[in-house]
Amino acid sequence: MNVEDDEDRELEKLVNFSEWYKRFNDVRVVVKQYFSDSGGGGGKMAWDLIFWVLCFFINIALLASSFYQLLSLSDLEADHLNPFEAATRINSIVLPEFLLQGFFCLSFLLTWHWFMFISTLPITVYHVMLYLNRKHLLDVTEIFRDLNTEKKYRFVKLAVYLLLFTVVLFRLLSASIFFFFAWKFEELDIRTSLFY
Amino acid sequence: MRPSSTPFASAPPTVRPFSSSGPVAGSESSNFRPTPPGAPSTLTPFSAVGPSPPSRFIDPSVPSPSVKSVPPSGVPYQRFPTPPFPSAAQTPPNRAPPVGQPPFQPPASHVSVPPPSFRPQTQVPPVPMGSLPQNANFPEPPSDPSLSGPRPNFQPPFPGYPSKQPAVSQAPSPFSAQQGSFMAPPAPPSPFPIQQVSYGPPPPVANNLGYQSRDQMQHPGSAPPIGGVQSLTEDFSSLSVASMPGSIEPGLDYRTLPRPLDGDEVPSSFLEMYPMNCDPRYLRLSTSAIPNSQSLVSRWHLPLGAVVCPLAEAPEGEEVPVINFASTGIIRCRRCRTYVNPYVTFTDAGRKWRCNICSLLNDVPGEYFANLDATGRRVDLDQRPELIKGSVEFVASTEYMVRPPMPPLYFFLIDVSISAVRSGMIGVVAQTIRSCLDELPGFPRTQIGFITYDSTIHFYNMKSSLTQPQMMVVSDLDDIFVPLPDDLLVNLSESRNVVETFLDSLPSMFQDNVNVESAFGSALKAAFLVMSQLGGKLLIFQNSLPSLGVGRLKLRGDDLRVYGTDKEHILRIPEDPFYKQMAADLTKYQIGVNVYAFSDKYTDIASLGTLAKYTGGQVYYYPSFQSDIHGEKLRHELARDLTRETAWEAVMRIRCGKGIRFSSYHGNFMLRSTDLLALPAVDCDKAYAMQLSLEETLLTTQTVYFQVALLYTASCGERRIRVHTAAAPVVTDLGEMYRQADTGAIVSLFCRLAIEKTLTSKLEDARNSLQLRIVKALREYRNLYAVQHRLGARLIYPESLKFLCLYGLALSKSVPLKGGYADAQLDERCAAGFTMMALPVKKLLKLLYPSLTRIDEYLLKPSAPADDFKNIMKRLPLVAESLDSRGLYIYDDGFRFVIWFGRMLSPDIAKNLLGPDFAAELSRVSLTEQDNEMSRRLMKILKKLRESDPSYYQLPYLVRQDGWYHWLCRLDNANTPTSPAKLMIYRSSLLNVVNSSAPADESSPGVKTTTGKKGFARLGLLSMVVASISCLDVGQRQKTLKTGSA
């Protein structure tokens, strides 16, 4: 009885293991397919990772610029900064930010990341609109009148960038996990083949 | 408007001695000589003050004992029942009481019986105390109506004065005694034979009938002149829009409209309440009763704020005292940096002082210490102007400087292209500058420099060792550089000869210039480079559209289609960001810009004016300048610009008590930080407006203090701080806010808000929002009283705002706001906008409602004494009836005279005034002095008028009656023609409006129109009234036109 029970248990374990193993097998197949499809072996995976790393840094830069502008504005409000300096500081980074953001958005379009593209699109459109209306730069002379709206606008932008940041971070992590795990699978693959 | 004849007109000054002398009995007693019968109680206030005087100095929150100055008569002294007006249905209390009882009429003195809440905290004893001597001074018989006029709020509860007219606040007109129709400037004599009384609320016949008769029934034998009910209705003024008795047509009688014929009226009650406030010419609040809660603010639909004119010209003898604290340093609050002022309180035997704005206890520096006397006053108070005057000037020490005080500096940037040469502008400018060289302020430190430009830029080396100025031409417009490091800007006294030689030769130097280009932007940059070391004043004379180099502009504004669309406002803002950036840079380097524009074509004032706007300057615009016509105007205005006292490198800040904050600023300046106005050059013709907002939901203090501080460099090279301090009570009652409103300040704020709105939206929207706010305010006011009264078909408004509608109308018809594309040239519109953004209150009101005077009688009078100038200059209302075709009139809006020749004016007069060409087309005739008495007299009148308002030079325009309609249309302020059909529509909807907004009132007589909800909802009450005002005027005019031409 005992023995049978034990055997049963062993059997169960075996079955479990084989099921578990099967999954790996499937993954391996998928991974293999994935690489073989892209033609470059691990190339596509690497490019993906590189892309997300790039996005990550762009996003950080955008965040930083927004934050810096906000900081300058609140400094201005608290009278730590005079309007001339504040306007020069902010205006000097407005265009780079717009360009960077445009590039960010465009790169999603080119890499067919629809979701990311659509979520960055509104800001891009808004930027383009501002630029075409020539309202993208702070007006030194009326800076205090516009202060609140400008701050609000930058707060909203900061929030959106933060949101994007979480998404990008997630994608970056998944891409890197994918990448490194896939590497492991490759290794696993070799080792497991020794078993057979 | 304040009657100078009454015994109290000079009251505030006399108040002080009593306040300062406290309870010393001797001095008062002398003033109590003619103690009225039955007034032993007069002494109570003093006895009340006596025992506990210091308390009020120690702690402002302790109610001052003066409140207790209730006569011991046993009658409850109800200062201010909170719904101040017992309902109409009730028997009004205590009408014409028996002699011997204080006839105190609680609600009546609407001007400002202050609510009890803020009387006590008036830390200033003079107010309550001061009123006493005056009262004691009355020798008059009890029922003299003139007593009531000026100071109703201090009416003592004395027996023996039963017929005090309540509520006659400002205008003790002859009629007030009889009718209680208290509005009115005394009616101008002739044109309105029918109704002398009519400037106020319609006489009781029309509307008050109901009340009156009822009232009479209830109180047979009550004293005739006043009554409680009267006092109820008198709390506001009203305008009947019901049918007038005797007229079939329902509508508004234009004659009953109040008209500001006495110009600007400064509410006086405020000053009386706080006699140590600065003069209203420096600071005016839109209401001198500050609301205590957000909800009150939101119900006060008018702007809440202040208009500040820090350097207003003071009349002889009232100059601001200059105080030098040399070693002590300027006494300021440690925390909020408030300057010491009359409202600070000294405690702790004089060792500490409490800031009135943030109530922090500060130490009194050793050198400034003085003992307090028994009443808590400093013993040296009389030697300390800063502790008794609302306006003082401190000499600032080096800690208030970032660099040594700059010398006065004038830099001229003169366009010498062909159009400038042809118009003769250069000649006039050169001459004027040369003639002003002696009067430029700041001798011997004054600096001066010149640049001229066409398609190239010409610099002038004026080194004192030269005999002739050296001209250097720079033609590289893209990369501007200054050819000489110095000597372009020279000390005037050293290089005087060179400068004079230059100015003499300037007109001839360019007389053959055929260059049509204008490299304005580059020249501006060059001037900026030269001036940036020192700052100063930059005067730009621009004669054509900038066409070369940076900042070149293109023609715009001639596109009719843009008007009425969302892009309309773009025409009114600078086209090229260069101008804003440049303006900011100029301000940063303390350069103030005044723009003189002369072109007959489009010059884009919107862009050029930006330079003046953000540097605290102003725009002078002379369309189609011709030196023989406009030369005099330019000469005068340029001379004034150069010679008036100017404050250099100034900054201004206005501080106010806890809980409130100045949230927005309006005018020509740039904000340096959230509440600091940078004013590179400021003078007496500039005013700034600001709006208040409440930071806390509820204000707990009972008085709010405001302090304007202007830190500037005087022309003499001294750094100074001009400080104006004012206090205002905090109220809980909306009615009080309305009563204390100041129309002038409100209109000034409205004007600036509306002009700013035209920069971001359509003209239409700006006008609408202006009207909407006035309508809302009046409706709110109506709601206050609608419950208590049967208002019938009357528009009611507070006495203080009786002219608001009219000014509102005038404002929406002023040049920056009126009409659309065709009504004013774009440049004219923008120039007027820039000018009006800087105008002080008085001048603005004059521009909005110009004076019209008839002068032919004076000219014909055989020998008119020179001194009755005031009598001649009687202002007439601006309606067609005022214009008699046999008359000669002067219309003066502060910027120009229009001299109107009636068609049937005797030809002698015309001949005498105009000389041989009197029959010619008047627009081509210029007015020059002829060799006869009449002409000399006219010139004298014009001169007098000009002297009364020297900031601008008024050029006379001659108009004959046939052409008058055109100038009325063309010149500001007149009414644009409206079709009779439209007029009828307006009238009927006006009736609807009043009816529907009145409480259900079946018995309102004479109005059968059914309620027109649509009309009420869509169109505002005021726009209706305003529209009907204008319609009526026009209607009358059209009538005269027809009859005239028939």
User: pLDDT, tens digit, for every residue of B1017-1044?
Assistant: 233 334 444 443 443 333 333 333 333 3
A90 in any annotated domain: yes
Residue B407 CA to residue B714 CA, distance in Å, equals 9
Residue whose C-alpha is closest to residue B796's, from B183, B363, B4: B183
β-partners of residue B692 are: B662
Residue B651 CA to residue B691 CA, distance in Å, equals 18
Q: How many domains does chain A have?
A: 1
Q: Which residues of B690-705 are buried (b: 16+ CB within 10 A; e: fewer)?
A: bbbebeeeebebbbbb
Distance from CA of B140 to the nearest CA of A (A): 57
B674–A141 C-beta distance less than 8 A: no
Say which residues have a Cβ less than 8 Å from residue B940's Cβ, sequence separation at least 6. Answer: B866
B465 and A CB contact within 8 Å: no
pTM of the model: 0.73
Residues of A whose CB is below 8 A from B588: 84
Residue B821 CA to residue B826 CA, distance in Å, equals 8
A37 in any annotated domain: no
Residue B1005 carries which DSSP code? T
Using CB atoms, which residue from B584, B610, B674 is nearest to A144? Answer: B674
Burial class (CB within 10 angstroms; exposed 0-12, middle 13-18, buried 19+) of B806 = buried
Residue B722 CA to residue B323 CA, distance in Å, equals 10
CA distances from A179 to A42, A46, A58, A112, B256 (A): 8, 7, 21, 19, 89
- H helix runs in B476-519, sequence order: 496-509
Q: What is the predicted ipTM?
A: 0.73
Judged by CB atoms within 8 Å, which residues 156-195 of A form the interface with B?
A: none
Averaged confidence pLDDT in chain B: 72
Confidence of residue A65 (pLDDT cuts 50, 70, 90): very high
Residue of B961 and A164 predicted with greater confidence: A164
A110 in any annotated domain: yes
A141–B580 C-beta distance less than 8 A: yes
A27 in any annotated domain: no
Q: Are residues B128 and B24 in contact, defined by beta-carbon separation less than 8 angstroms?
A: no
Give B41-65 as a DSSP string: GGGHHHHHHTTS-HHHHH-TTSPPG
β-partners of residue B620 are: B596
Residue of A99 and B229 predicted with greater confidence: A99
B651 and A CB contact within 8 Å: no
A137 and B CB contact within 8 Å: yes
Confidence of residue B42 (pLDDT cuts 50, 70, 90): very low
Terminus-to-terminus CA distance in chain B, angstroms?
41
**Which of B566, B570, B664, B671 to probe by mutation at the A interface, max A CB count within 10 Å?**
B671
Mean pLDDT of the region A144-167: 93
B760 and A CB contact within 8 Å: no
- The dihedral over CA atoms of B501, B506, B507, B512, expressed in degrees to the nearest 10, equals 130
Distance from CA of A141 to the nearest CA of B (A): 6
User: pLDDT, tens digit, for every residue of B69-120?
Assistant: 334 443 444 444 333 343 333 433 444 344 444 444 443 334 333 444 334 3
B577–A137 C-beta distance less than 8 A: yes
| Identity of the residue numbered B981 | A
Residue B436 CA to residue B424 CA, distance in Å, equals 19
A79 in any annotated domain: yes
In this structure, is the dihedral angle defined by the CA atoms of residues B311, B312, B317 and B320, taken in order, positive or negative?
negative
Say whether pLDDT at B975 is over 70: no
Residue ranges making up the domain that contains A80 = 43-180
User: pLDDT, tens digit, for every residue of B197-239?
Assistant: 333 333 333 333 333 333 333 333 333 333 333 344 445 666 6
Say whether pLDDT at B735 is over 50: yes
A133 in any annotated domain: yes
Judged by CB atoms within 8 Å, which residues 585-604 of B form the interface with A?
A: 585, 588
**Which of A74, A84, A130, A141 to probe by mutation at the B interface, max B CB count within 10 Å?**
A141
**Percentage of chain B lying above the pLDDT 90 cut:** 32
Q: Are residues B540 and B524 in contact, defined by beta-carbon separation less than 8 angstroms?
A: yes
Q: At what angle do helices B763-786 and B980-997 cross, to 10 degrees?
A: 40
Residues of B whose CB is below 8 A from A86: none
Say whether pLDDT at B354 is over 50: yes
Say whether pLDDT at B502 is over 90: yes
Distance from CA of A82 to the nearest CA of B (A): 7
Residue whose C-alpha is closest to residue B507's, from B599, B429, B410: B429
Q: Which residues of B503-540 are buried (b: 16+ CB within 10 A; e: fewer)?
A: beebbebbeebebebbbbbbbbbbbbebbbebbbbbbb
A12 and B CB contact within 8 Å: no
A144–B580 C-beta distance less than 8 A: no
A24 in any annotated domain: no
A21 in any annotated domain: no
Residue B168 CA to residue B514 CA, distance in Å, equals 67
Using CB atoms, which residue from A77, A87, A139 is nearest to B674? Answer: A77
* pLDDT of amino acid B887: 85
User: pLDDT, tens digit, for every residue of B386-416?
Assistant: 998 999 999 998 888 889 999 999 999 999 9
- The dihedral over CA atoms of B147, B150, B153, B159, expressed in degrees to the nearest 10, equals -10
B577 and A CB contact within 8 Å: yes
Residue B548 carries which DSSP code? S
Judged by CB atoms within 8 Å, which residues 106-125 of A form the interface with B?
A: none
B580–A145 C-beta distance less than 8 A: no
B614 and A CB contact within 8 Å: yes
Strands B409-415 and B536-542, bridge-based pairing: parallel
Using CB atoms, which residue from B584, B664, B673 is nearest to A140? Answer: B584
| Identity of the residue numbered A86 | A
Distance from CA of A79 to the nearest CA of B (A): 6
Residue B425 CA to residue B436 CA, distance in Å, equals 16
Residue B332 carries which DSSP code? B
User: pLDDT, tens digit, for every residue of B583-609?
Assistant: 999 999 999 999 999 988 888 999 999
Say which residues have a Cβ less than 8 Å from residue B539's Cβ, sequence separation at least 6. Answer: B410, B411, B412, B413, B593, B594, B596, B638, B641
β-partners of residue B690 are: B306, B665
User: pLDDT, tens digit, for every residue of B908-927?
Assistant: 888 888 877 766 666 667 77
User: pLDDT, tens digit, for every residue of B455-475?
Assistant: 999 999 999 898 889 999 999
